[in-house]
A and B are shown apart, each in its own frame.
Chain A
Amino acid sequence: MLRSIDVLKETPSQTAGPYVHIGLMPNSCGIEGVYADDLGSVMVNDKTLGERIAISGRIFDGAQTPVRDAVLEIWQADHAGLYNSPSERRGTADPNFTGWGRSATAAEDGVFRFETIKPGRVPFKDGRMMAPHITLWIVARGINIGLHTRLYFPEEAEANAVDPLLLRIEHRARVETMIATRKGQDYTFDIHLQGPSETVFLDI
């Protein structure tokens, strides 16, 4: 008899629901004092190396209405392109930068915001360098499984043109949906869940 390869099934995802803030950022929704701080609310300190940047934006649904109950998380390399993770074998990342942040879209206007640093470049699996990028993960009521995407930087046109992930996007007009716009140190990255400018989401 053929012996089966024993692999378990991943626990199915369920929506984060409308009250996700209670669990992930309780201080921001009036449940104060259980935790000292909301995790991921501060990404940099005085000693963090690298260029300070801010990223803000909104998430639009299929009726072009901002989603005001989403939570976003970002994950990125440090200024030198190293991840602060045990799975990072190329060196030691900046100890003053975890690389991870969490923000909610505001209940009033749907704007999210991260204050972080610009990441360095990280190699693709085959050694080619990826363009500097930030990984985003989005959960909300009505989203059954968290959405992964990436933010790339508009001033990196040369690196973006050879980025192995961006090169995989068949419909070239959609590459733009993963590139932020810039004003000084402030970047804007709007995410579209549906419609002609639907953001490229990743199965990765």
Chain B
Amino acid sequence: MSLRSNDAPETGAFFGRDRTWHSPALTPGYKTSILRAPQRALLSLDGTLSETTGPVFGHGMIGEQDNDLIHNFAKPGESAIGERIVVHGRVIDERGSPVRGALLEFWQANAGGRYRHKKETYLAALDPNFGGCGRTICDDDGHYAFRTVRPGAYPWPNGVNDWRPAHIHFSVFGHGFAQRLITQMYFEGDPMIWKCPIVNTIPDKAAIEQLIAPLDWNNTIPMDARAYRFDIVLRGRRSTLFENRLEGN
């Protein structure tokens, strides 16, 4: 990504993270967190250059099929099995500005709820034409889109009968390392969302709803694929007011 000449450089520190909006580290309903949750207070500090800066990924590194999970692992002329969907949206910050050039990486189970991973033991079948990974870079408006199949729900060992609702994992790089985020997207109308111990690590219902992508009927492609809309909000930056710098906004 190259900055346009009329862009003010982004040098401000990020807004403090609202840790009551996110899951706490220790969430006993999600058992694995019990031995992996730090127990001491985090050291809170305003961001320094080490956090306000971040790596840049160029559009040049993205291959033609990187955002097409239906085809990027399939044999020539074949495609993944499942309900064809398009997932799209914008990556913006807490101030509403687009995060242009943001790198998104996503991964998911196949239509039967099976991941292509050596640790995966679920009895659902692998799809020989589905790998389950994709990536893309947001345009100047923060917009992104990819094509995939709707992932299946699957059981996991936590409670005796816990199931993950259908979901897609997202990894997001904004412009500063402090914005680094991994999250999961769910599908509108899925009753399993509210039964999931991982979803329920998030204390606020409105925060959970931020992870649920509505069906986007207007952008559904007739005779091809339904569309789901998932907007992602990253931490916003402070204006560099009174902070010993000439630039700012």
The distance in angstroms between the C-alpha atoms of A185 and B72, with both chains bound, is 40
A-side binding surface: helix, strand, loop or mixed?
loop
The distance in angstroms between the C-alpha atoms of A193 and B40, with both chains bound, is 10
Confirm or deny: B98 has a beta carbon within 8 angstroms of a beta carbon on chain A: no
The distance in angstroms between the C-alpha atoms of A87 and B12, with both chains bound, is 9
- Asked if A144 and B33 make an inter-chain contact with CB atoms under 8 angstroms apart, the answer reads yes
- CB-CB contacts below 8 Å: B77-109 with A: 92-96, 105-107
CB distance from A28 to the nearest CB of B (A): 11
B-side binding surface: helix, strand, loop or mixed?
loop
Partner of B32, one of A86, A142, A202: A142
Chain A residue numbers with a CB within 8 Å of B169 are 14, 16-17, 19-20, 23
- Given that A23-B107, A35-B63, A202-B43 are contacting pairs, would A14 and B48 also be in contact in the complex, using a CB cutoff of 8 Å? no
CB distance from A144 to the nearest CB of B (A): 4
CB distance from A76 to the nearest CB of B (A): 8
- Asked if A87 and B48 make an inter-chain contact with CB atoms under 8 angstroms apart, the answer reads no
CB distance from A39 to the nearest CB of B (A): 8
Chain A residue numbers with a CB within 8 Å of B25 are 143-145
Confirm or deny: A7 has a beta carbon within 8 angstroms of a beta carbon on chain B: yes
Chain A residue numbers with a CB within 8 Å of B22 are 10, 12-13, 144-145
Chain A residue numbers with a CB within 8 Å of B221 are none
Chain B residue numbers with a CB within 8 Å of A143 are 25, 33, 36-37
- Asked if B21 and A204 make an inter-chain contact with CB atoms under 8 angstroms apart, the answer reads no
- Asked if A145 and B23 make an inter-chain contact with CB atoms under 8 angstroms apart, the answer reads yes
Chain B residue numbers with a CB within 8 Å of A6 are 96
CB distance from A178 to the nearest CB of B (A): 10
Q: Could you count the A-B residue pairs with CB atoms below 8 Å apart for me: how many are there?
A: 278
Confirm or deny: B18 has a beta carbon within 8 angstroms of a beta carbon on chain A: yes
CB distance from A2 to the nearest CB of B (A): 20
User: What 0/1 readout, one digit per residue, does chain B (138-173) give for beta carbons within 8 Å of chain A?
Assistant: 000000000000000000000000000000010100
Confirm or deny: A31 has a beta carbon within 8 angstroms of a beta carbon on chain B: yes
Confirm or deny: B123 has a beta carbon within 8 angstroms of a beta carbon on chain A: no
What total of chain A residues lie within 8 Å of the partner, measured CB to CB? 80
Confirm or deny: A146 has a beta carbon within 8 angstroms of a beta carbon on chain B: yes
Confirm or deny: A116 has a beta carbon within 8 angstroms of a beta carbon on chain B: no
Partner of B107, one of A8, A19, A65, A133: A19
- Asked if A29 and B94 make an inter-chain contact with CB atoms under 8 angstroms apart, the answer reads no
CB distance from A89 to the nearest CB of B (A): 6
Confirm or deny: B208 has a beta carbon within 8 angstroms of a beta carbon on chain A: yes
- Given that A12-B23, A17-B169, A100-B55 are contacting pairs, would A125 and B232 also be in contact in the complex, using a CB cutoff of 8 Å? no
CB distance from B54 to the nearest CB of A (A): 6
Confirm or deny: B180 has a beta carbon within 8 angstroms of a beta carbon on chain A: yes
- Asked if A130 and B17 make an inter-chain contact with CB atoms under 8 angstroms apart, the answer reads no
- CB-CB contacts below 8 Å: B29-85 with A: 30, 32-40, 42-57, 61, 63, 65-66, 72-73
- Asked if B34 and A62 make an inter-chain contact with CB atoms under 8 angstroms apart, the answer reads yes
Partner of A23, one of B9, B56, B106: B106
13 interchain pairs, CB-CB under 8 A = A7-B94, A10-B22, A15-B184, A15-B198, A20-B107, A22-B115, A22-B133, A85-B53, A135-B51, A144-B25, A201-B43, A203-B19, A204-B46
- Known A7-B94, A100-B54, A143-B37; further 5 A-B contacts with Cβ < 8 A: A31-B131, A62-B36, A67-B36, A85-B56, A137-B180
